[in-house]
A and B are shown apart, each in its own frame.
Chain A
Amino acid sequence: MSLFIIVLLPFLGALLPGLMIRAGRQVCYTTTMLVTGAAAIGLATHAPAILRGETVTAKLDWLPGLGLNANLFLDPLGFMFAALILGIGLLIVAYARYYLSREDNMGEFYVYLLLFQGAMVGIVLSDNILLLLIFWELTSLSSFLLIGYWKHLPEGRQGARMALAVTGMGGLALIGGMLLLGQIAGSYDLTVILERRGQIQDSPLYLPALLLILLGCFTKSAQFPFHFWLPHAMAAPTPVSAYLHSATMVKAGLFLMARLWPVLSGTPEWTALVAGAGLLTMVLGALIAIFKHDLKALLAFSTVSHLGLITFLLGTGTAFGAMAAVFHILNHASFKAALFMSAGIVDHEAHTRDMRRLGGLRKLMPITFSIALLAGLSMAGIPLLNGFLSKEMMLEEATHTTLFGSPMLVTVAATVGALFSAAYSFRLIAHTYFGPERDDYPSHPHDPGAGMWLPPGLLIIPVVVIGLFPALAEPFVKLVTGAVIGNAAELPDAHLKIWHGLVPALWMSVIAVIGGALLLMAFRPLSKAWEAAPRPEAKAIFDDVIAGSVALSRGLTQRLHDGAFTRYAAIMVVTVVAIGAHAWFTGTAGLPTREMLPMTPIAVVAWAMLIAAAAFLVAAHRNRLAVLILMGIIGLMVSVGFNHFSAPDLALTQISVEVVTIILLLLALNFLPNRTPAESGAPRRIRDGVIALSGGAAAAGLIYTILMSDFPLGTISDYHLANSYKGGGGDNVVNVILVDFRGFDTFGEIIVLGIAALVIYALTETLLSSKVRARLLNRGYETEQAGDAHPLMMVVLTRVMMPVVLMVGVYIFLRGHNEPGGGFVAGLVVAIAVVMQYMASGFAWAARRQRYPYHGIIGAGVLVAGLTGIGSWFAGVPFLTSAFGYFRIPPMQEFELATAMGFDLGVFLAVVGAVMLSLESFSRLARRQDTEDSEYAMDIDPSRGAELVPGRAKEEN
């Protein structure tokens, strides 16, 4: 079977349990077994080739640009791991079938389990280290889901998050390490990297790469000081603990160290780090394990300890160490998974895992007892069981290893570790199964059905068989060891056997077993002393770190983003000025290339007025009405300025815009208090003043230098001047730019205007359909109201003005192409004509006489402008290409017709619609409870004769 299928099967199969659970637990279980089984069979088909010493590969390009390819290869090392994963996987799936209760969602469990399985198989089959990273992180993620599987347990959630944080951190470090490794080796393909030992170890990047990779391995394999997550991951259901957190996932770190052994090992750094961390973890884990009362906690720390043992073996950097490591990986997987499952059985039956409440189960659960006894003794390193063999090899290796300059250190530490290991193994058996039977178990225990004890029972077979006949395992172990060490070393000629003679390792072993037994006898006082001794509690520290960083992040985030807009704006202005100034002062400013223009008296006066108005505005900024008036003055001066600099179009536009905005702002002021309250103290005002002045000074300085220099390279405007008439059919270059040269900009801008009006309308509608409506209707008046809201004089005047203003609008529109004017200004002028009617006779009166909805006018404007543009498509020219011609209809003079007029009409309509829609929206908001719709154009109307009563009074009667 293709390697791709072996890896993909669990992933694709992961979809099934979630679906099949609808058909019942048995179907769900069977499906999962089939998926795992199929993958296992697929693996088995490669067994002959692997045992012959061949390597199976499968390659698929994924992201060749980066070197990330879906390349898989299967060698003895990968085969051993894959076999462990799938083989134990089968047992675990079967075990979980009976372990999970009816309330547990079995489908979900198997989904996660299969995801994990696929990821794990992916790790061990990857030939590309980036691909390996992907699977690596996937195991962290699926482990996160599995640990948190019992969502209702806080321990599960916290354990899951802790595991994710720690292994996630390692995973990220590993990303860095792998990228470095790939950079050094020039390839991300493992098979290539493994050939480049010299190149890698000579590289200056070797140490950072090693550190990052080891960080990944140590976190994954729970090496000190990252061991603390593993015991908390035991909150997961026991099948998960047995599978992920003892037999497979935590060995991924070991796998990677073994995989990269040929290129990374053998340096002093490697030995110090790996062997040191391994040794420390072994001793420390074993020590803590002795005093754990929870069966699973004890097993968790014993796992930590054994992982340390294997790490140490890999760290020594010798071929013999590697062989011992491989052998112990196999042995540990078998006895530890069996122990976990037996612990799960005890928990399942007795409803407790606390050894202080257990004991005497030997007779009640004979089958479970036998399994636990054999597995436990193997863990303790008792002869004739497989644990003994690999432990002997470890002790043997320890006697040959020198660490930190001391040859004795390792020997002593390894012996102590083995001693502790024996102690907790004995305790596990003694305190659970021996002793008197009790009558206070939470639930009366007895052996479970075969479905639960058979999986661990099957695992005991290799424990015993290999223990008795180690030679059976030797060829395979040597094959795998060969794959680990590659070309980096010679395969050791040692043999796996029970009796090596009276070597130092045997004496160390004897000391360990006897010492362990003595330790168990003295357990009670020792335990008391242990409980009394102060020790750092990893979970508390971790929780504090996380809570601290959350609080810190929260504080920082909230302090920075406190919602004060003035602060945001101040930061922005300061940033812009600072960066702009930096750019200016690091460059070279050219000398002015223009003469200063003469200062005419009129210009000086206008300039002084502008400054004065601005200054007054700052001084009077709390009085909103005054601000508005001063803004009007400033706008007017700007228009005058435009005119002074020969830009009549701009001046005209500016003046009309001023008029319309002032009217709209006046309406808006209606909803605001007349005065802005003072909200900031003097220091802040000074700060803001300084920032404002610096911004103003920067802008002024920039503009000054721009005004004082010529265009260094000429400008495109010359073309516009030259071609406005010939190419655009208009003398008014500004207008031709607006509707022709850059008509597309104008198209965008009328849309902006239209959108603005639509937004104002939408906002009004939203407000009026919310609770705000009542508040708006019921608010009072700040000042006294005029008795005559719609005075006669104004009504008459605006009526007279209307046709005149409309006429002006049309005139301005028509002359636009050749003279100052155009659709935009015309639109504003016409809007003003209509606004006047609203002002004079009130909103309701005017609105009733207005037949075209303003939305429509905006829409029509955009449409007309757009359609004019699209019209040119029919002539086979691009959007908005203008055409014009001169016509003569006698007796009139010759006149010009240009398609640009259609476009300008669109502009005109959009402007009228936008202004009027905004006005209408404001007016609707402005209504109060006592506003009513007069049917008369004015409040006091002489022509209505006798009933000279203002509409308001009449209604009230």
Chain B
Amino acid sequence: MSHWIVSPIVLPAMLAAILVLMVRRHLLPQRVLSMAGCVALLGIAIGQFWQAAGGDVTIYQLGHWPAPFGIVLVADRLSTLMVLVTTLLAPLVLLYAIGSGWDTRGRHFHPLFQFQLMGIIGAFLTGDLFNLFVFFEVLLIASYGLMIHAGGAERLRAGTQYVLFNLLGSTLFLFALGTIYAQTGTLNMADLALRVAELDAGANAGIRVAAVLLLMVFAIKAALLPLHFWLPASYALAPAPVAALFAIMTKVGAYGIIRVYTLVFPPELAITQGLFDTWLMPAALLTLALGMIGVLGAVRIERLVAFAVIGSMGLLLASVAVFTPDGIAAALYYAIHSTFATAALFLLVDVIQSRRGETAGRLVRARPFEGAPLVAGMFFVAAIAMTGLPPLSGFVGKLLILDAAFADPLVWWVWAVVLSASLVAVVGFARAGSIVFWKAHQQGPEPEETDPTSAPPVEDETAQNGSDEPAVPRPVLPMVAVGGLVAMLVALTIGAGPVNRALAATAEQLFSPAPYLEEVLATEGKVIKDDAHGDEDHAGDEHADEGEH
């Protein structure tokens, strides 16, 4: 019995407990252990990914109970891929948090970070719908803690909205689970797949409701219009490394949709026809459009990036909504890409904010800041990636998605929205970058591009404040972290061929689930001693009798 499938969940949980129990007042050991944990996770994730890459589905029966009666973890191509992406992201984000000192601006950053990782990884690995709910709770509450890390009135307010909205989502999740259980009597995803297919078409209203309720739960996490309202403020106001880590959180929602709606409610399933197959694509396109409109209209750069996240989720979900192997493969490629791209952008936004002083993220002219060329270069590259311009992975992802959309009846809509949204995003990012990096060099006092509706220019004030500040040596680690994320994008671009092959295989596995079902449902669990039945049962009866007395 190999335990390493459960290890990426147990490791961060145990590590977090140790951090809280033993070193909660000591920064250095926290940082070292936390980073060591992330690196170890990465190692495990690479191993698991490698193992699953051959097409094997490996399961892990918690408590040695056979599915569907106990909980199983399932390591197939998709789940190990998502875990790998998470663990690639985590050390870089953590590096930034350490380098920029964000982890010292509040309590318990590192334990919460580890718990958050546990929640995300658990959500990817579990093969049980209720267990997925539990991990959603873990990642929600940990993300709330991380989001309000370091406090501040605005952030707390946004955090409250974040957690409230997502608690509504959790409630909805429970409703969905209850409905599903009432219809099928099971919670294991593989078992659900079999049972849903067996359901009587003459009484399908219940399972139809269950299917859409569950989809909306994931849609909330994935910020699908009109369930996205929690996102802009919370991502814009979360501490940068946290926002960067959240880049994978929206993908959890997308993962849920991909997993459940290929396995349990596959597109060809008769009893769920006429539901999300009709409205998911339009909703995704609206999400894309709204996100990019938000990019264009942003008054602060952090909100710009937050809306870019919404837009990218729209594009991703549009690709998912095609529900073909090509569409899913394209969506996965884009998911990986947008995870790193958004993370890089959020970190850069933080660098910009902190170096611009009081102007922070406002899109108005301010004095030039130190080290701007490097930051500008990185921002340029990350923005290219995010808007899907060549040559980076965003463009490749967009091509894949446009290509996959041929299979969809709404193909022309998809094309029109995707291409025009890209243009809007390009204009929005160019505008923001030009104001932040170029306009700073303009001579003369008149701020002619400043929008009258935005705050009055404060450059003079900042300039004075700025010149008085003593020169603080800039830490190197943050830019190393950003560089690492950008390097991921470059690697994803250059390696597009092999990556795409792996993702196509992943999608293929999702659309031919027989081995998955077989592995999950046919594996024997613990041996329950029936031969010793008489003796023990007797003792048990006796025992029980006494208890009742």
Which residues does A use to contact B, with CB under 8 Å? 61-66, 68, 108, 130, 133-138, 141, 144-145, 148, 151-154, 156-157, 160-161, 164-165, 168-169, 171-173, 175-176, 179, 183, 546, 549-558, 560-561, 563, 565, 568-569, 571-573, 575-576, 579-580, 582-591, 699, 702-703, 705-706, 709, 711-717, 719-720, 723, 725-727, 731, 740-745, 747-749, 751-752, 754-756, 758-759, 761-763, 765-767, 770, 815, 818-819, 855-856, 858-860, 862-863, 866-867, 869-870, 872-873, 876-882, 886, 893-894, 896
Q: How far is the CA of A711 from the CA of B185 in the complex (A)?
A: 6
Residues of chain A lying within 8 A (CB to CB) of residue B165: 565, 568-569, 572
Residues of chain B lying within 8 A (CB to CB) of residue A706: 178-179, 182, 206
Q: A762 and B63: CB pair below 8 A?
A: no
List the A residue with the shortest CB-CB distance to B65: A741
0/1 interface trace, chain B 184-220, chain A, CB 8 Å (1 if under): 1111100100010011111111111101110010001
List the A residue with the shortest CB-CB distance to B24: A855
The stretch that binds A, out of B87-95, B316-324, B443-451, B466-474, is B443-451
Q: A762 and B108: CB pair below 8 A?
A: yes
Q: How far is the CA of A705 from the CA of B208 in the complex (A)?
A: 13
Q: How far is the CA of A703 from the CA of B142 in the complex (A)?
A: 31
Q: A862 and B17: CB pair below 8 A?
A: yes
Q: A587 and B232: CB pair below 8 A?
A: no
Q: How far is the CA of A108 from the CA of B449 in the complex (A)?
A: 25
**How far in angstroms is the closest Cβ of chain B from A544?**
14
Residues of chain A lying within 8 A (CB to CB) of residue B115: 751, 755
Residues of chain A lying within 8 A (CB to CB) of residue B271: 587
0/1 interface trace, chain B 301-335, chain A, CB 8 Å (1 if under): 00000010000000000000000000001000000
Given the known A-B contacts A584-B209, A863-B14, are A880 and B69 also in contact in the complex, defined by CB atoms under 8 Å?
A: no
0/1 interface trace, chain B 79-118, chain A, CB 8 Å (1 if under): 0000000000000000000000000001110011001001
**How far in angstroms is the closest Cβ of chain B from A921?**
11
Main secondary structure of the interface of B (DSSP, over half): helix
Q: A749 and B423: CB pair below 8 A?
A: no
Q: B106 and A583: CB pair below 8 A?
A: no
Q: A879 and B62: CB pair below 8 A?
A: yes
Q: B294 and A762: CB pair below 8 A?
A: no
Question: Is B378 part of the contact surface with A, judged by Cβ < 8 Å?
Answer: no
Having A179-B403, A588-B201, one finds 17 other A-B pairs with CB under 8 Å, namely A66-B396, A68-B496, A134-B390, A141-B384, A151-B437, A152-B442, A554-B453, A576-B216, A579-B212, A587-B207, A726-B536, A731-B544, A759-B108, A759-B145, A761-B108, A856-B21, A870-B14
Q: A137 and B20: CB pair below 8 A?
A: no
Question: Is B227 part of the contact surface with A, judged by Cβ < 8 Å?
Answer: yes
Residues of chain B lying within 8 A (CB to CB) of residue A157: 434, 438-439
Q: A859 and B17: CB pair below 8 A?
A: yes
**How far in angstroms is the closest Cβ of chain A from B503?**
9
- B21: contacting residue among A573, A587, A860, A882, CB under 8 A: A860
Residues of chain B lying within 8 A (CB to CB) of residue A108: 373
Question: Is B226 part of the contact surface with A, judged by Cβ < 8 Å?
Answer: yes
- 7 pairs, CB–CB < 8 Å, chain A vs chain B: A151-B437, A588-B205, A706-B178, A715-B185, A720-B69, A761-B108, A866-B14
List the A residue with the shortest CB-CB distance to B422: A172
Residues of chain B lying within 8 A (CB to CB) of residue A862: 13-14, 16-17, 20
Q: B426 and A762: CB pair below 8 A?
A: no
Q: B422 and A709: CB pair below 8 A?
A: no
Q: B20 and A856: CB pair below 8 A?
A: yes
Given the known A-B contacts A164-B430, A571-B229, A699-B175, are A179 and B402 also in contact in the complex, defined by CB atoms under 8 Å?
A: yes
Q: B198 and A713: CB pair below 8 A?
A: yes
Among A138, A554, A819, residue most surrounded by chain B Cβ atoms (within 10 Å): A554
**How far in angstroms is the closest Cβ of chain B from A313?**
30
Q: A546 and B427: CB pair below 8 A?
A: yes
List the B residue with the shortest CB-CB distance to A765: B107
Given the known A-B contacts A580-B209, A855-B21, are A590 and B64 also in contact in the complex, defined by CB atoms under 8 Å?
A: no
Question: Is B399 part of the contact surface with A, judged by Cβ < 8 Å?
Answer: yes
- B186: contacting residue among A709, A715, A880, CB under 8 A: A715
Q: A169 and B423: CB pair below 8 A?
A: yes
**How far in angstroms is the closest Cβ of chain B from A385?**
39
Residues of chain A lying within 8 A (CB to CB) of residue B290: 557, 560
Q: A590 and B202: CB pair below 8 A?
A: yes
Q: B168 and A572: CB pair below 8 A?
A: yes
List the B residue with the shortest CB-CB distance to A573: B168
Q: A751 and B543: CB pair below 8 A?
A: no
The stretch that binds A, out of B44-52, B127-135, B512-520, is B127-135
Given the known A-B contacts A579-B212, A741-B65, A759-B141, are A713 and B71 also in contact in the complex, defined by CB atoms under 8 Å?
A: no
Q: How far is the CA of A742 from the CA of B22 in the complex (A)?
A: 29
List the A residue with the shortest CB-CB distance to B162: A565
Question: Is B260 part of the contact surface with A, judged by Cβ < 8 Å?
Answer: no
**How far in angstroms is the closest Cβ of chain A from B330?**
9
Residues of chain B lying within 8 A (CB to CB) of residue A579: 212, 216, 279
Residues of chain B lying within 8 A (CB to CB) of residue A584: 205, 208-209
Given the known A-B contacts A758-B111, A818-B544, are A702 and B179 also in contact in the complex, defined by CB atoms under 8 Å?
A: yes
The stretch that binds A, out of B243-251, B342-350, B480-488, B526-534, is B526-534
Residues of chain A lying within 8 A (CB to CB) of residue B118: 751
**How far in angstroms is the closest Cβ of chain B from A97?**
22
Q: How far is the CA of A726 from the CA of B205 in the complex (A)?
A: 38
0/1 interface trace, chain B 262-305, chain A, CB 8 Å (1 if under): 00000000010011000100000000001001101111000000
List the A residue with the shortest CB-CB distance to B19: A859
Question: Is B391 part of the contact surface with A, judged by Cβ < 8 Å?
Answer: yes
Question: Is B539 part of the contact surface with A, judged by Cβ < 8 Å?
Answer: yes
The stretch that binds A, out of B30-38, B147-155, B456-464, is B147-155
List the B residue with the shortest CB-CB distance to A152: B441
List the B residue with the shortest CB-CB distance to A762: B107
Residues of chain A lying within 8 A (CB to CB) of residue B399: 66, 68, 130, 175, 179
Given the known A-B contacts A561-B229, A859-B18, A879-B3, are A741 and B70 also in contact in the complex, defined by CB atoms under 8 Å?
A: yes
Residues of chain A lying within 8 A (CB to CB) of residue B181: 715
Q: How far is the CA of A435 from the CA of B86 in the complex (A)?
A: 72
Q: A63 and B500: CB pair below 8 A?
A: yes
Q: B63 and A881: CB pair below 8 A?
A: yes
Residues of chain A lying within 8 A (CB to CB) of residue B423: 165, 168-169, 172
**How far in angstroms is the closest Cβ of chain B from A71?**
13
Question: Is B352 part of the contact surface with A, judged by Cβ < 8 Å?
Answer: no
Q: B390 and A133: CB pair below 8 A?
A: yes
Question: Is B261 part of the contact surface with A, judged by Cβ < 8 Å?
Answer: no
Q: B209 and A583: CB pair below 8 A?
A: yes
**How far in angstroms is the closest Cβ of chain B from A563?**
7
**How far in angstroms is the closest Cβ of chain B from A342?**
29
**How far in angstroms is the closest Cβ of chain A from B217?**
9
Residues of chain A lying within 8 A (CB to CB) of residue B17: 858-860, 862-863, 866
**How far in angstroms is the closest Cβ of chain A from B37?**
14
Residues of chain B lying within 8 A (CB to CB) of residue A762: 106-108, 112, 145, 148-149
Q: How far is the CA of A133 from the CA of B399 in the complex (A)?
A: 10
Residues of chain B lying within 8 A (CB to CB) of residue A765: 106-107
**How far in angstroms is the closest Cβ of chain A from B259?**
18
Residues of chain A lying within 8 A (CB to CB) of residue B384: 141
**How far in angstroms is the closest Cβ of chain B from A79?**
24
Q: How far is the CA of A894 from the CA of B542 in the complex (A)?
A: 10
Q: How far is the CA of A400 from the CA of B38 in the complex (A)?
A: 73
- B134: contacting residue among A144, A156, A748, CB under 8 A: A748
Residues of chain B lying within 8 A (CB to CB) of residue A580: 209, 212-213
Residues of chain A lying within 8 A (CB to CB) of residue B415: 176
Q: A748 and B69: CB pair below 8 A?
A: no
Q: A866 and B10: CB pair below 8 A?
A: yes
List the A residue with the shortest CB-CB distance to B217: A576
**How far in angstroms is the closest Cβ of chain B from A213?**
13
Q: B293 and A63: CB pair below 8 A?
A: no
Q: How far is the CA of A741 from the CA of B168 in the complex (A)?
A: 28
List the B residue with the shortest CB-CB distance to A136: B390
Residues of chain B lying within 8 A (CB to CB) of residue A755: 112, 115, 138, 141-142, 145
Q: B497 and A553: CB pair below 8 A?
A: no
Residues of chain B lying within 8 A (CB to CB) of residue A585: 205
Given the known A-B contacts A66-B403, A749-B137, A858-B20, are A880 and B203 also in contact in the complex, defined by CB atoms under 8 Å?
A: no
